[in-house]
Amino acid sequence: MKIKYVLIDIDGTLFPSLEFAKRARKAALEAMRKEGMHSDVSSAYKVLMNVVKEKGPNYAHHFEIMLGCLGEGHNARAVAAGVRAYHKVKESIRPFPDVRRALGAMRKKGLGLYIASEGKAVKQWDKILRMGLQREFVGAFISEELGVKKSPLFYRKICRKLKCKASKVAMIGDRQEKDVEPARKIGMRAYLIDRKGRQGFGSLLEVARQVE
Amino acid sequence: MKIKYVLIDIDGTLFPSLEFAKRARKAALEAMRKEGMHSDVSSAYKVLMNVVKEKGPNYAHHFEIMLGCLGEGHNARAVAAGVRAYHKVKESIRPFPDVRRALGAMRKKGLGLYIASEGKAVKQWDKILRMGLQREFVGAFISEELGVKKSPLFYRKICRKLKCKASKVAMIGDRQEKDVEPARKIGMRAYLIDRKGRQGFGSLLEVARQVE
């Protein structure tokens, strides 16, 4: 066996993050409209996306700023309804249908599975727990904790922590420039997943069958 | 009819807030223990309560600080599990069994019902929405928004907003020094609820029958 450890990305790799984020934001805006927001959902959505872009995804007051931009002023009732609806959808995230089988197949091969993800550690663990996948992984490497975003240094630090040569580690993810290129640069094997099948592998299960 | 508007407190008056808070914290600590916290739940609970007391209830990182005090260091997985379990219990808050009937009885008498509460506006609205009571109230007066904690000034500001004499407003709550005394001081009628029946009224329904 050449590969010993497999690093796996979360968003877009284990579950359809963009789809859930969009659904959660729409649900939030519909709830806000029901509880007193005057603007219609589709105009509000456009403004919200600009706020998210400007403030970043981890900012705590997107809805307040959005209401301000819409000229609506303060409305705690609508904001509370929005946050509630947003979390309800977020709470319901589920992995892609092949994920559990793919992780099982890799574990059966004796591979040690780790999360390798960019973002806030508590938020990323929350996703793993919500999907009920925490028992599949030995641990997680998250950019916030490593102190560096996905880059050759990020992957080098992981090798150091695993006390393992890069050539014995594989990385799986859905983004060429974050998951594949920097990992390959330091000598890891890297697998690109593209569930739309344009390039790379069509599913995690396909990768799971290859890696060893 | 002498009384026109009725102000009602949330925590301890509409639902057993202390009981839910305790249950939520215990559930959080049990989840944290399951996901890697080493300390036992009852020692952790004592430390957590000290952290809550010191940092206040609206601080976002109680669990992180608690782990530090317990000498456990950083554990994002356990924190994520704790936050998740905590919110699950909090999400399940329900009003005292007589609340819906009491609110209905007062509305039938033509009284305008408002929330009068101390705390963060979004958090207090969240509770109302979770209990499904938002349609019972005309609106809410929350200390964060009025810029002052429960005091004669708090109640005076409400009268000004309602464009109404204090003598035509009643306040209902479970705390003598926050809900009853300052409201009476400016000439409101005020009802103390004590569900343990030691003093004041034993339930919201009893008050609802009296106020008019």
For B189, the token pair is 């009628």
Which chain A residue has the Cα nearest residue B128? A77
**Contact (CB<8Å) B125/A81:** yes
Name B152's Cβ contacts closer than 8 Å, sequence gap at least 6: B182, B185, B186
pLDDT at A1 over 80: no
What is the extent of the structural domain holding B45?
18-91
Residue to test with chain A: of B58, B62, B84, B122, most A Cβ within 10 A: B122
Q: Write the CATH number for B199.
A: 3.40.50.1000
* pLDDT class of B94 with cuts at 50, 70, 90: very high
The answer to whether the beta carbons of residues A193 and A182 sit under 8 Å apart is no
| Percent of chain B with pLDDT strictly greater than 70 | 100
pLDDT of residue B1 exceeding 80, the answer is no
pLDDT in tens, A146-183: 999 999 999 999 999 999 999 999 999 999 999 999 99
* A198 pLDDT tier (thresholds 50, 70, 90): confident
Torsion of CA A142, A143, A146, A148, to 10 degrees: 160
Contact A126 B87 (CB under 8 A): no
Query: Which of B83, B84, B122 is nearest residue A76 as measured by Cβ atoms?
Result: B122
A101/A87 same-domain check: no
A21, burial (CB in 10 Å: exposed 0-12, middle 13-18, buried 19+) = middle
ipTM above 0.95, yes or no: no
Question: Do B147 and B194 sit in the same domain of this protein?
Answer: yes
A126/A70 same-domain check: no
Q: Quick one: tokens of B83?
A: 């936050």
Look at chain A and report how many structural domains it folds into: 2
Q: Indicate yes or no: CB of B81 within 8 angstroms of CB of A124.
A: no
How far is CA B199 from each of CA A154, B7, B139, B204, rounded to the nearest angstrom?
63, 20, 29, 14
B55 and B108 housed in the same domain: no
Q: Do B129 and A84 touch (CB under 8 A)?
A: yes
Assign residue A69 the CATH number of its domain: 1.10.150.520
What is the secondary structure of B60-108 as a DSSP string?
S-HHHHHHHHTT----HHHHHHHHHHHHHHHHT----TTHHHHHHHHHH
Interchain CB distance below 8 Å, A129 and B83: no
Residue-averaged pLDDT of chain A: 95
Q: Contacts of residue A121 in chain B, CB cutoff 8 Å?
A: 74, 76, 80
Residues from A in contact with B at Cβ < 8 Å: 35, 74, 76-77, 79-81, 83-84, 87, 121-126, 128-130, 134, 140, 142, 145
Last residue of a domain, one of B60, B91, B122: B91
Shared-domain flag, residues B120 and B196:
yes
Three-state SS for B38?
A: coil
> Are both A70 and A141 inside the same structural domain?
no
Among A80, A124, A129, the residue with its CB nearest the CB of B126 is: A80
Q: Give the end of a domain, one of B44, B71, B91.
A: B91
Instruction: Tell me: do B30 and B124 sit in the same domain.
Output: no
Task: Yes or no: say if B79 and B64 are a contact pair by the CB < 8 Å rule.
Answer: yes
DSSP B174: S
**Nearest CA-CA distance, residue A80 and chain B, Å:** 5
Is A80 in contact with B142 (Cβ distance < 8 A)?
A: no
Q: Give the domain-ending residue among B91, B121, B154.
A: B91
**B100 and B187 assigned to the same domain:** yes
Whether residues B66 and B103 share a domain: the answer is: no
Together in a domain, B113 and B201: yes
Chain A: closest CA distance from residue B188 (Å): 26
pLDDT digits (tens, 9 = 90+) for B40-66: 999 999 999 999 999 998 888 999 999
Per-residue model confidence as pLDDT tens digits over A97-138:
999 999 999 999 999 999 999 999 999 999 999 999 999 999
Contact: B126, A84; criterion CB under 8 Å: yes
Cα–Cα distance, A190 to A169 (Å, whole number): 9
Question: In this structure, what token pair is assigned to residue A172?
Answer: 């799986």
- For the stretch B134-167, pLDDT in tens is 999 999 999 999 999 999 999 999 999 999 999 9
CB contact at 8 A, B131 and B14: yes
pLDDT at site B197? 79
Q: Is the pLDDT of residue A81 over 70?
A: yes
List CB contacts (< 8 A) between B84 and chain A.
126, 129-130
Tell me: do B156 and B173 sit in the same domain.
Answer: yes
- Identify whether residues B52 and B144 lie together within a single domain: no
User: What are the tokens at A156?
Assistant: 């080098």
